[in-house]
Amino acid sequence: MVNLEFYLQHYNYWISVLLFMIGLYTMIAKKNLIKKFLGLNIVDTSIYLFFISMGDKSKAIAPIIHGEHVDPTHYSNPLPSVLILTAIVVAIGLTATALSLSIRIYEEYGTLNSEKIEELW
Amino acid sequence: MLLNQNQLPILLVLIPLFGAYLAAISVLFKKKINNILSLILLSLSFFLSLLTANHVLTSGDISYHTAGLQPPFAIEIVVDPLSALMTIIITSLSLLTVIYSREFIRKELSDKRESYYYILVLLLTGGLNWFVIAGDIFNMFVGLEILSISSYSLIAIAQNKEAIASAYQYLLMGSIGSSFFLLGTGYLYIMTGTLNFADLAIRIAQLGLFNSEAIFASTAFIVTGLSIKGAIFPLHVWMPDAYSKALAPICALSSGAIIEAAVYALIRITLTVYGIEFITEIVPVKTILLWLAGIAIIIGSLYAISQSNIKRMLAYSSVSQMGYIVMGYGIGTQLGLSAGILHLFNHSIMKACLFFAVGAIAYKTGKTDLYEYEGMGDKMPVTMMFFSLAAISMVGIPPTNGFISKFYLVWASASSTRWIFAAIILVSSLLNAIYFFRIINKAYFGGGHEEASRDEAPYTMLVPIGVLAISCVVFGLAFNIPLSLIEPVAEKLMTLSLII
Amino acid sequence: MSEGPITKDVLVKTVTKILIPPIQLFGLYVIMHGHISPGGGFQGGVIIASSFILYALVFGYREGAHRAKLKIRQFLEPLGPIIFGTIGLICILFSGNFLQYSAIPILANAEIAATAISLVEIGIGITVTAVIFSIFMAMGGRKTDG
């Protein structure tokens, strides 16, 4: 029997999977190069969501020591957030590279449609 | 001594990365300084990588922790003989690339782009070094992204329309690979709560996660992601387009170091984190990769035969050569793994030499097509001689290094009674012979002697080609030097068993 | 982007002029409190860069390029990693590990070691500000720059 409650409790992962699929579909189905890249950004966002939601829990506080002692179980896990911050910085570099490349592609080919670019190759 | 020997690994990463930013600042004050600056920095890194290898061989693996904490809490950098070998490959190839680029880039790119080119090469070297010596999976991801972004930019830097479009294609595919890798990291982290390689292996075993679906998914994502980066068949489709349009030194560096590093990471992660039993019995990664490699070797060679653009031909040849490396890993014995990694080392020498030589010919004559190579043996005799040497090595004729690693591969597949793969290697050697001897035949016996006048490439280009071509022969005779770095690790990886 | 001001609306210009100092101040706050509260060099740098972008959007590309000149940006872009790397290298010279602040004699005290983290954060903030604004200017000013 399918344990429905178990699946409903982890709805954050379902959202992440859904976003991942939407992003992949966009990358494959869309012809416009910028839309393809936006699909990639959606894929990345779904992964960020996956990481962030696995590190968080309800009513948790930021893990910063402010003098008085707090029970460590009240802290949310900081490591996924740190990792995702790094991944976001990396994604910004990637986005800048991709957008500048697409500007150059538009200047050279006069279009951003991937099929037309293949014809003009 | 000012610097402790244990500081060597961080310097391997820090010098190229830090140097890239130094180069970015110094070019504002003095134009055209970047060539010299990157030459100095990369020579230093090369020297340090040799020192590291020596240190690792004499006094054992180096484990380096930043910020004075202990792993798994600190960022750990682990250098064992195999990663030392990888850093030697990376730093030596990028050093030769910078020497080679001096004349080549001056002709191909404007002054402004020339300075960007050297900054990107330094970033790429730093990212590669970081990628191969990282001791945890997330740092490996960061190194992977640094090297990927700089390699996308380096392919696009040629600024012709095909190069930009193929760089965009590479970017889309490569970043999907990185995303898959990150997602696989996430699955590993959610199940174990750690990212450090050694710690991951221990926790997976302790928590009995070998039947967990999340771990299966992480294997699938990580292997797929790295296969895209490593151009393992059938995920190689970005490579021929990107390489046929990029500048020759970049092709040499990518084909010689980037895809190799990705395959190295695949070997390292699957064998240290998951362990040999897991990837053989529970998730048959090795068997799948073995058969894919067998197909890749034949298909890659057949595609290579059908190309007339030489750079494109070499790119398809890389697909088949990556097949050899993965086949060695997929055979699944210690001998097979050492043979595969030995071929990885040899392939980076041979393929870089071939790309350099083709680039030198294009630099002097502008010819990139197979049918235009007539009389090239008289026109550029030294370059063609080195090209032929590397091509012979590619085919696998003794006493070159290509022969040694192919011999090891045949031996490994025969000793595990997988005769079909031994046969595939022999058939593909014949196919290699067809497409390489076709060029040599055209160049030396294809006519066109009367119009040929000697017009040799400049010395800064001949020296890297010559060094690599001669090392093809040197490592064909002294093959125990790379093997001494490979075998201890192959033994360790194969006997590492954590399933209880 | 057009070269001149996009808008001639007095309201937008005045509100922008009023908003920019608090935005930058908030960015500096986020950078400086990075080691004791959520925040840090990257987040603060993006906030400061957004104030520059707002200025360039309202007052036009040329005015924005005049306020933050290309030469200065090109100098500031690699400066952050150099500060970061230098602090790390100083730790190595004092025979500690990379970024092991306690190896530096004057930073043996944990309170003072926090200052070193702030230095790193400031460096990152400088770089991120310059890089984000440069990305915006490079793409927006493509037609005018040629």
Sequence spans of domains, chain B: 284-500
Q: How far apart are CA B75 and CA B38, in angstroms?
A: 27
Q: Does A7 map to a domain?
A: no
Residues A50, A54, A56: CA angle, nearest 5 degrees: 120
CB contact under 8 A, B161 and A109: yes
What's the structural domain count of chain A? 1
Backbone angles phi, psi at B349, to 5 degrees: -65, -50
pLDDT tens for each residue of B353-388? 999 998 888 888 888 888 887 777 778 888 888 888
Q: Which residues of C touch A62 (CB under 8 A)?
A: 37-38
Q: Does A113 map to a domain?
A: yes
CB contact under 8 A, C97 and B66: yes
Q: Which residues of A touch C142 (CB under 8 A)?
A: 103
Residue that has been written with the tokens 């196919």 in this structure: B431
User: What pLDDT does residue B158 have?
Assistant: 82
Specify the CATH number for the domain of residue A83. Answer: 1.10.287.3510
User: What pLDDT does residue B68 have?
Assistant: 61
pLDDT tens for each residue of B178-202? 999 999 999 988 888 888 888 888 8
C114 and chain B in contact, CB less than 8 A: no
What's the structural domain count of chain C? 1
Q: How far apart are CA A21 and CA C30, in angstroms?
A: 35
Q: Which of B321, B320, B315 is nearest to B298 (CA)?
A: B320
> Is the predicted pLDDT of residue B2 greater than 50, yes or no?
no
User: What pLDDT does residue C24 have?
Assistant: 93
Q: Does C128 map to a domain?
A: yes
Q: How far apart are CA B369 and CA B14, in angstroms?
A: 41
B62 bridge partner residues: B79
CB pairs under 8 A between A and B: 71
pLDDT tens for each residue of B250-278? 988 888 889 999 999 998 888 888 877 77
Q: What is the mean pLDDT of residues B471-494?
A: 84
pLDDT tens for each residue of B203-215? 888 887 778 888 8
Q: Does A69 map to a domain?
A: no
Q: What is the mean pLDDT of residues B416-433?
A: 88
Q: Which residue does chain B place closest to A46, by CA atoms? A: B183
Q: Domain residues for C102?
A: 10-145
How many CB atoms sit inside 10 A of residue C39's CB? 18
CB contact under 8 A, C97 and B25: no
- Torsional sign, CA B112, B114, B120, B126: negative
Q: Count CA atoms within 13 Å of residue A22 on its CB side.
A: 13
Pick the residue of B140, B141, B164 with the most A CBs within 10 A to test the interface with A by mutation: B164
Q: How far apart are CA B391 and CA C29, in angstroms?
A: 61
Q: Which residues of C touch A100 (CB under 8 A)?
A: 138-139
- Say how many residues make up chain A: 121
User: What pLDDT does residue C146 have?
Assistant: 37
B369 bridge partner residues: B309
User: What pLDDT does residue C100 have?
Assistant: 72
How many CB atoms sit inside 10 A of residue C41's CB? 25
> Is the predicted pLDDT of residue B397 greater than 70, yes or no?
yes
Distance from CA of C126 to the nearest CA of B (A): 14
Q: How far apart are CA B168 and CA B171, in angstroms?
A: 5
Q: Domain residues for A35?
A: 12-54+75-120
CB contact under 8 A, B21 and C99: no
User: What pLDDT does residue C143 have?
Assistant: 60
Q: Does A32 map to a domain?
A: yes
The separation between CA A81 and the C-alpha centre of its own chain, rounded to angstroms, equals 13
Residues with Cβ < 8 Å from C114, sequence gap 6 or more?
C35, C36
Q: Does C108 map to a domain?
A: yes
C146 and chain A in contact, CB less than 8 A: no
Query: Does residue C40 or residue B87 have the better pLDDT?
Result: B87
Q: Which residue does chain A place closest to C146, by CA atoms? A: A107
> Is the predicted pLDDT of residue B500 greater than 70, yes or no?
no
CB contact under 8 A, C78 and B17: no
- All partners of chain C with 3 or more CB pairs under 8 angstroms: A, B
A75 bridge partner residues: A61
Residue that has been written with the tokens 């100083």 in this structure: C90
User: What pLDDT does residue C5 have?
Assistant: 59
- Say how many residues make up chain B: 500
Q: Does A68 map to a domain?
A: no
Structure tokens at B171: 């970017």
Residue that has been written with the tokens 């030697």 in this structure: B88
Q: Which residues of A touch C132 (CB under 8 A)?
A: 92
Q: Which residues of C touch B22 (CB under 8 A)?
A: 78, 82
- DSSP structure class, residue B77: E
Q: How far apart are CA C68 and CA C79, in angstroms?
A: 16
Residues with Cβ < 8 Å from B116, sequence gap 6 or more?
B157
C2 and chain B in contact, CB less than 8 A: no
pLDDT tens for each residue of B21-46? 888 888 888 877 888 888 899 999 99
CB contact under 8 A, C42 and A85: yes
C78 and chain B in contact, CB less than 8 A: yes
Alpha-carbon distances, residue C83 vs A111, B19, C29, C103, C127 (angstroms):
42, 13, 20, 17, 10
The single-letter code of the amino acid at B262 is: A
Which SS3 state, helix, strand or coil, does residue B62 take?
strand
> Do residues C123 and C40 lie in contact, with contact meaning Cβ atoms separated by under 8 Å?
no
Phi-psi region of A77 (alpha: psi -120 to 50; beta: other; left: phi over 0): beta
User: What pLDDT does residue B499 have?
Assistant: 46
Q: How far apart are CA C42 and CA C128, in angstroms?
A: 6
Q: What is the mean pLDDT of residues B430-456?
A: 79
Q: Which residue does chain A place closest to B144, by CA atoms? A: A90
Q: What is the mean pLDDT of residues A5-18?
A: 85
Q: Which residues of C touch B21 (CB under 8 A)?
A: 78, 81-82, 85
Residues B125, B131, B137: CA angle, nearest 5 degrees: 165
Which residues does A contribute to its contact with B (CB < 8 Å)? 20, 27, 33, 36-37, 40, 43-44, 47, 50-51, 54, 79-80, 83, 86-87, 90, 93-94, 97-98, 101-102, 104-105, 108-109, 117, 120-121
Pick the residue of B18, B65, B146 with the most C CBs within 10 A to test the interface with C by mutation: B18
Q: Which of C84, C89, C146 is nearest to C116 (CA)?
A: C84
Residue that has been written with the tokens 């007539």 in this structure: B374
pLDDT tens for each residue of B105-137? 888 887 778 888 899 999 999 999 999 998 888
Q: Which of C22, C13, C18, C34 is nearest to C120 (CA)?
A: C34
User: What pLDDT does residue C110 have?
Assistant: 67
Backbone angles phi, psi at B193, to 5 degrees: 75, 20
Which residues does B contribute to its contact with C (CB < 8 Å)? 2-4, 7, 10-11, 14, 17-18, 20-22, 24-25, 28, 64-68
User: What pLDDT does residue C107 have?
Assistant: 65
> Do residues B232 and B289 lie in contact, with contact meaning Cβ atoms separated by under 8 Å?
yes
Which SS3 state, helix, strand or coil, does residue B488 take?
helix
Which member of C82, C101, C102 has the closest CB to residue B25? Answer: C82
Rg of chain B (C-alpha set): 22
Q: Count CA atoms within 13 Å of residue B211 on its CB side.
A: 2
> Do residues B299 and B233 lie in contact, with contact meaning Cβ atoms separated by under 8 Å?
yes
Structure tokens at B499: 């399933």
CB contact under 8 A, A97 and B165: no
Q: How far apart are CA B455 and CA B175, in angstroms?
A: 42
Q: What is the mean pLDDT of residues B383-410?
A: 88
Which SS3 state, helix, strand or coil, does residue B76 take?
strand
Which SS3 state, helix, strand or coil, does residue B369 take?
strand
ipTM > 0.90 (yes/no): yes
B159 and chain A in contact, CB less than 8 A: yes
Peptide bond into A63 cis (omega under 30): no
pLDDT tens for each residue of B293-345? 999 999 989 999 888 888 888 999 999 899 999 998 888 888 888 899 999 99
pLDDT tens for each residue of B53-84? 888 888 878 887 776 666 667 778 888 888 88
> Is the predicted pLDDT of residue C145 greater than 50, yes or no?
no
Q: Does C2 map to a domain?
A: no
Distance from CA of A72 to the nearest CA of C (A): 17
